[in-house]
């Protein structure tokens, strides 16, 4: 019986409820009850290929072939068997979102619809509903139309427009309304409509049946197994629908590609299980900070794609920077108790009428590449005047002559230079700008260069930024110490500026 339940628990409950209603009709000498019992038994037998209980199959066959007078005893034997199956606690309960602001009705519904197969998530407003849909694994929505902050039909529309929630069954519960409201709800995508007061058995059966069909119809290939976000295939479908609508309504549409910075090092150092946890947390953070109408998908690896309907470039950049700021504050803990933080880079671009999905993605990807080249931890678009952007280099050097020489040479090569005469200034600058490269003198007036290098490698903002150590010392012991502490290159003064530039570019290309 355990093998049957995970696949058909809601279906069994729906059939059981219908059989009980049919049994009552038979007892009231209503002829339609007999026909209902036979049809329901035939429906159960049709699904019997998944039943491993052969005695149950036999009982269903007997009901289908029994004379009308013998049907009652067979039904009496079947109902307890189905009741036992439907009472088995499932491994994973389904979550039903109940959107209702009346606390008394909420308590009544919870009591009437109590089941071993489902749990309720209560939302009193549209805002709470959208938050629940973005954060929880909702299997079905029971929706009231009259809510404190708006009309439930607006939520129904948004649920159907978002590919991540488009297939969730929605049952509308409402006071008696005109036929036009019912018609609109069905047009917007409602699966059923119940007027208050409703028949609790009919509602319970509808819920079980909708959950059963949704479970059978859902394609496991449409969701990413790690983050449970839509995958690339779903994103392409959403793009086609949304781009067509945007073109027709002349509303703006924006697309972005996001990539977690230096994600490979998390897998290498802390393992793939930790990497999956980071991906899951990042997916949840995106769903919490972006709108329900925004389409978020896992593109592959550590890359994510976001589609922003009715959103211009400035608004999309603002939303992504908000998500980036939230991620910067997030602290992760590895299995060895080591704490770390992570950032993402993003390329974002408007989708123009007639633009294909691949063309839009390629354009967003181009800005993502530039964001990575500029030191990561950026949201980049054409508004940033990319052609005029320069990579930032932090020059930590207390010798004014050497600093002036390097500054002129590097600025001529197209870099933006931030000069720090001591370690404290250097550390302060790390929180104010994003750097692609750090050049670090060993001899500083306040902090030893090796100590400062250690501080850099402990600072999440510059932990992975390449560091070239500049020193008049050429002792082998100092060179080894520098590399051991995390230096990427070591140049002994005096040196040729062109040699320095070549070695800097080598690190930047990595």
Residue 150 falls within a domain, yes or no? yes
CA distance linking residue 232 with residue 236, whole number of Å: 6
Final residue of a structural domain among 386, 412, 443: 386
Q: How far apart are CA 452 and CA 430, in angstroms?
A: 12
Indicate whether 33 pLDDT > 90: no
The answer to whether position 474 is within a domain reads yes
- 3-state SS class at 223: strand
**What is the reported pLDDT for 306?**
97
Measured at the alpha carbon of residue 254, what is the angle toward residues 251 and 257, in degrees to the nearest 5?
A: 165
Closest C-alpha among 443, 137, 416, 478 to residue 280: 137
Give the tens place of pLDDT for each residue, 113-167: 877 667 889 999 999 998 888 777 788 999 999 899 999 999 998 888 776 788 8
Q: Which of 176-180, 310-314, 415-419 has the highest mean pLDDT?
A: 310-314
Residue 381 and residue 400 share a domain: no
Is residue 37 domain-shared with residue 149, that is, in the same domain? no
Going by C-beta distance under 8 Å and a sequence separation of 6 or more, which residues neighbour residue 311?
Answer: 252, 253, 254, 294, 319
Percent share of the chain, pLDDT over 90: 26
Q: Are residues 159 and 259 in the same domain?
A: no
The percentage of the chain sitting over the pLDDT mark of 70, rounded to a whole number, equals: 85
Q: Are residues 188 and 74 in the same domain?
A: no
Q: Dihedral of the CA atoms 402, 408, 410, 413 (nearest 10)?
A: -160
Residues 63 and 15: their CA atoms lie apart, in Å, by 14
In a domain, 227, yes or no: no
Give the 3-state secondary structure of residue 61.
Answer: helix
Pairing relation of β-strands 170-174 and 192-195? parallel
Does residue 413 lie within any of the structural domains?
yes
Identify the H or E element spanning 259: strand 253-260
Q: Is the pLDDT of residue 480 over 50?
A: yes
Task: Let me know: does 101 contact 127? Beta carbons within 8 Å.
Answer: no
Q: How confident is the model at residue 309 (pLDDT cuts 50, 70, 90)?
A: very high
- One domain for residues 369 and 442: no
Q: 399 lies in a domain? A: yes
Distance separating alpha carbons of residues 435 and 394, to the nearest angstrom: 7
Q: How far is CA 202 from CA 21, 158, 207, in A?
A: 9, 27, 9
Helix (H, G, I), strand (E, B) or coil at 235: helix
- Segment 200-204 shows an average pLDDT of 84
Q: Is 497 helix (H, G, I), strand (E, B) or coil?
A: helix
| Over residues 204-208, mean pLDDT | 83
Stretch 254-271: mean pLDDT, rounded? 90
Judge if 105 and 24 occupy the same domain. Answer: no
Strand order in the sheet with 295-300: 295-300, 303-309, 253-260, 344-350, 379-380
Q: Which of 217, 246, 262 is the last residue of a domain?
A: 217
Residue 226 falls inside a structural domain: no
Q: Are 62 and 74 in contact (CB under 8 A)?
A: yes
Instruction: Please state the φ and ψ torsions of residue 438, each to the nearest 5 degrees.
Output: -125, 130
Integer angstrom CA distances of residue 484 from 283, 453, 479, 480, 487: 35, 10, 9, 6, 7
**Contact yes or no for 275/265 (Cβ under 8 A):** no
pLDDT at 11: 62
Which 3 state secondary structure label does DSSP give 170?
strand
Structural domain ending residue among the three candidates 190, 217, 244: 217
Write the pLDDT tens digit of every residue in 248-257.
889 999 999 9
306 and 451 housed in the same domain: no
Residue 224 forms part of a structural domain: no
CA-angle at 488, arms to 483 and 489, nearest 5° = 85
Enclosing domain of residue 467: 392-509
Whether 410 and 377 map to the same domain: the answer is no
Strands 146-147 and 150-151: antiparallel
How does pLDDT run across 337-349, given as a tens digit for each residue?
Answer: 889 999 999 999 9
Angle at 206 (CA atoms; ends 200, 208), nearest 5 degrees: 100
Q: What is the pLDDT of residue 174?
A: 85
As given in the structure block, the two tokens for residue 335 are 């299995």
Domain-embedded: residue 412: yes
Please tell me whether residues 118 and 199 are part of one structural domain.
yes
Cβ-based burial of 179 (10 A; exposed 0-12, middle 13-18, buried ≥19): exposed
If phi over 0 gives left and psi between -120 and 50 gives alpha, with beta otherwise, what is residue 271? left
CATH number at residue 473: 3.40.50.2300
pLDDT at 22: 73
Q: How far is CA 379 from the centre of its chain?
A: 19
38 compared with 454, residue with greater pLDDT: 454
Largest alpha-carbon pair distance within the chain?
Answer: 108
The verdict on 348 and 419 lying in the same domain is no
Give 324-348 as a DSSP string: HHHHHT--EE-TTS-EE---EEEEE
Q: What pLDDT sits at residue 128?
A: 93
Query: What's the rounded Cα separation, in Å, for the pair 230 and 29?
Result: 51
Give the chain's domain count: 4
Query: What's the rounded mean pLDDT across residues 500-504?
Result: 85
User: Mean pLDDT over residues 477-481, rounded?
Assistant: 83
Which residues touch 399 (CB under 8 Å, ≥6 apart)?
A: 441
Spatial separation of the C-alpha atoms in residues 146 and 275, rounded to whole Å: 43
Q: With left for phi above 0 and alpha for psi between -120 and 50, is residue 445 left, alpha or beta?
A: alpha
pTM: 0.46
The pLDDT assigned to 29 comes to 63
Mean pLDDT of 420-434: 83
201 and 186 fall within a common domain: yes
Averaged pLDDT of the chain: 82
Question: What 3-state DSSP class applies to 102?
Answer: coil
Q: How confident is the model at residue 10 (pLDDT cuts 50, 70, 90)?
A: low
Q: For 420, left (φ over 0), alpha (ψ -120 to 50), or beta?
A: beta
- Same domain (yes/no): 101, 9: no
Three-state DSSP class for 398? coil
Q: What is the pLDDT of residues 42-87, one digit of tens each?
A: 767 655 544 555 667 777 777 777 777 777 787 777 777 777 766 6
Q: How far apart are CA 342 and CA 319, in angstroms?
A: 18
């Amino acid at each position: 019986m355990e093998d049957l339940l995970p696949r058909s628990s809601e279906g069994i409950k729906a059939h059981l409820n219908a059989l009980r209603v049919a049994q009552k009709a038979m007892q009231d000498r209503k002829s339609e009850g007999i026909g209902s019992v036979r049809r329901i038994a035939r429906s159960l037998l049709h699904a019997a290929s998944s039943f491993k209980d052969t005695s149950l199959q036999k009982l269903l066959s007997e009901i289908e072939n029994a004379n009308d007078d013998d049907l009652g005893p067979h039904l009496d034997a079947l109902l307890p068997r189905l009741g036992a199956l439907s009472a088995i606690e499932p491994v994973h309960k389904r979550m039903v979102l109940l959107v209702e602001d009346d606390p008394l009705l909420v308590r009544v519904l919870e009591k009437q619809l109590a089941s071993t197969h489902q749990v309720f998530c209560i939302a009193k407003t549209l805002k709470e509903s959208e938050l629940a849909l973005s954060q929880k694994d909702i299997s079905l929505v029971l929706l009231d139309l009259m809510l404190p902050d708006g009309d439930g039909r607006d939520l129904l529309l948004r649920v159907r427009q978002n590919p991540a929630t488009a297939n969730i069954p929605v049952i509308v519960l409402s006071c008696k309304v005109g036929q036009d409201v019912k018609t609109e709800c069905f047009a917007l995508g409602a699966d059923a409509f119940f007027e208050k007061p409703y028949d609790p058995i009919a509602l319970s059966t509808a819920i079980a049946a909708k959950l059963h069909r949704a479970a059978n119809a859902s394609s496991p290939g449409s969701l990413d197994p790690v983050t449970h976000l839509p995958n690339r295939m779903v994103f392409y479908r959403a793009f086609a629908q949304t781009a067509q609508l945007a073109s027709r309504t002349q509303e703006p549409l924006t697309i972005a590609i996001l990539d977690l910075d230096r994600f490979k090092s998390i897998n290498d150092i802390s393992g793939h299980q930790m990497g999956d946890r980071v991906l899951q947390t990042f997916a949840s953070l995106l769903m919490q900070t972006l709108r329900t109408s925004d389409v978020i998908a896992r593109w592959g690896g550590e890359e994510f794609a976001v589609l922003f309907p009715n959103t211009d470039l400035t608004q999309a950049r603002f939303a992504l920077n908000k998500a980036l700021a939230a991620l910067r504050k997030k602290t992760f803990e590895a299995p060895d108790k080591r704490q770390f933080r992570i950032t993402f880079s993003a390329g974002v671009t408007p989708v123009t009428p007639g633009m294909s999905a691949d063309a839009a993605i390629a354009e967003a990807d181009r800005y993502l590449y530039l964001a990575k080249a500029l030191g990561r931890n950026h949201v980049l678009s054409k508004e940033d005047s990319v052609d005029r952007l320069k990579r930032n280099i932090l020059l930590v050097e207390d010798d004014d002559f050497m600093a002036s020489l390097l500054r002129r040479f590097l600025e001529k090569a197209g870099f933006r230079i931030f000069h720090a005469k001591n370690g404290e200034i250097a550390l302060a600058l790390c929180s104010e700008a994003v750097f692609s490269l750090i050049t670090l003198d060993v001899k500083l007036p306040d902090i030893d260069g090796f100590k400062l290098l250690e501080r850099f490698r402990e600072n999440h903002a510059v932990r992975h930024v390449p560091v070239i150590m500049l020193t008049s010392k050429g002792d082998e012991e100092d060179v080894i110490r520098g590399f051991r502490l995390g230096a990427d290159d070591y140049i002994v003064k005096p040196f040729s500026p062109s040699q320095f530039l070549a070695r800097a570019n080598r690190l930047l290309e990595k």
